A and B are shown apart, each in its own frame.
Chain A
């Protein structure tokens, strides 16, 4: 079974600075998908960014980018120019591409605080 590990339960960043959240995963599959979801105090789960394992290029979405290291099974999220609205729980998630197994496997999350 796949596992996802987020080793930083809490992190903080100064407004306008850059922060990197770590995620590692364990799988024997070669083709899969990785995601970062944001959960603000409202509890809504919001997709931040996704990465297909077969793509070598790291995904970017505005101020959010990932560092995907397939061999190391590492998938970190970098948030640039941090804003107060970025304060939330961030979950790393894995999805297999094996037929019938499309559910998301989540890490325990990292709580990000943004200091004004």
Chain B
């Protein structure tokens, strides 16, 4: 158990819908990263937050957005869902968002878009 929690574990929805994925980092960790794992694209970095502020952006679609709240949990919002958005979405956390930090991954949320 990494100490990072993600809810829900599984999500099944229809095209055009909107969903919210939630992540709680390890106790004391200030930085949260979101990654998408799909068969086509492999594991890709989406976005990073540090202590409530956006730190870095990767291959995140405009239909996707995220935020980190004062209690440091983070949410990833996916809207106007398409079939190709079906993937495993991971959240990872690290202590201070420094390059020396280890990123610990949550168990992931499996999103299926029908």
> A and B: partners?
yes
Q: Pick the contact of B99 from A33, A42, A44, A47 — CB < 8 Å? A: A33
Q: Mark interface residues in B77-104 (1 if CB within 8 Å of A CB, else 0).
A: 0000000000010101010011111111
Q: How large is the interface on A (under 10, 10 to 19, 20 to 34, 35 or more residues)?
A: 20 to 34
Say if the beta carbon of B18 comes within 8 Å of chain A.
no
Give chain B's interface secondary structure class. Answer: strand
Complex CA–CA separation, A104 to B101 (angstroms): 11
Complex CA–CA separation, A106 to B99 (angstroms): 16
The A-contacting residues of B in range 47-103, CB under 8 angstroms, are: 48, 55-56, 58, 88, 90, 92, 94, 97-103
Closest A-chain residue to B97, C-beta based? Answer: A102
B45 pairs with A103, CB closer than 8 A: yes
Q: Pick the contact of A96 from B31, B99, B101 — CB < 8 Å? A: B99
Q: How large is the interface on B (under 10, 10 to 19, 20 to 34, 35 or more residues)?
A: 20 to 34
Say if the beta carbon of A97 comes within 8 Å of chain B.
yes
User: Which of B33, B43, B56, B108 lies at the interface centre, i.e. has the most chain A CB atoms within 10 A of its CB?
Assistant: B43
11 A-B residue contacts at CB 8 Å?
Answer: A45-B90, A47-B103, A52-B100, A95-B99, A97-B99, A100-B55, A102-B94, A103-B33, A104-B45, A105-B45, A109-B42
